[in-house]
């Protein structure tokens, strides 16, 4: 007996649907566009963004955007057991890991960043070191300029 996988779906962090099954007729078109048929109703869909590791998707369906997060039976079990780990880490401040020279600044104040977003390049001991964001956040202020020499632990970027 072939049993289809079942998911719990959360849409726009407002609506939750239990036991969502893959019972859709989906016709892939081009460039992330799809034609979906469900219960005799036709939908035009576009995949705008996909984070497969976190089972999170941004879709545009018939002109409206929806953020959909899926949880399979294992995700649901981990949550019930209280074993969930924060999916994203909020960044507070970025300090210089070593003394060096600021070669390039890759972000601007007010910019939203995700984990591993390159923030700046710091030259130390004739090597270029890309300083990346350790988590999510918004750049509140940049306390250095291109060409500045900084000491270890100097506050480079404040986040909010």
The whole domain housing 132 covers 93-159
Q: Is the pTM higher than 0.75?
A: no
Q: Which of 65, 62, 22 is nearest to 44 (CA)?
A: 62
Q: Pick the more confident residue, 98 or 72.
A: 98
Instruction: Tell me: do 53 and 18 sit in the same domain.
Output: yes
Alpha-carbon distances of 78 from 19, 83, 104, 125, 133, rounded to whole Å: 17, 5, 42, 45, 27
Instruction: Tell me: do 69 and 115 sit in the same domain.
Output: no
Q: Each residue of 104-130: b (16+ CB within 10 Å) or e?
A: ebebeeeeebeeebebbbbeeeeeebe
Give Cα 66 to chain centroid, integer Å.
Answer: 15
Give Cα 86 to chain centroid, integer Å.
Answer: 13
Is 148 domain-assigned?
A: yes
pLDDT at 69 over 90: no
CATH code at 101?
Answer: 2.40.50.100
Which of 21, 54, 80 finishes a domain?
Answer: 80
pLDDT (tens digit per residue) in 26-66: 888 988 899 988 878 899 999 888 887 778 889 899 999 99
Which of 80, 103, 137 finishes a domain?
Answer: 80
């Amino acid at each position: 007996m072939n049993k289809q996988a079942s998911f719990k779906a959360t849409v726009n962090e407002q609506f939750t649907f239990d036991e969502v099954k893959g019972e859709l007729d989906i016709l892939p078109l081009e460039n992330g566009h799809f034609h979906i048929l469900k219960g005799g109703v036709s939908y035009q869909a576009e995949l705008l963004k996909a984070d497969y590791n976190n089972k999170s998707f941004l879709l545009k369906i018939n002109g409206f955007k929806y953020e959909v997060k899926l949880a399979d039976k294992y995700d649901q079990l981990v949550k019930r057991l209280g074993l969930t780990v924060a999916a994203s880490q909020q960044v507070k401040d970025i300090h210089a890991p070593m003394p060096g020279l600021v070669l390039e600044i890759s972000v601007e104040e007010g910019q939203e960043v995700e984990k591993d977003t390159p923030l700046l390049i710091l030259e130390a001991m004739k090597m270029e070191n890309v300083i990346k964001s350790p988590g999510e956040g918004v750049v509140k202020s940049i306390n250095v300029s291109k060409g500045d020499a900084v000491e270890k632990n100097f506050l480079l970027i404040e986040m909010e």
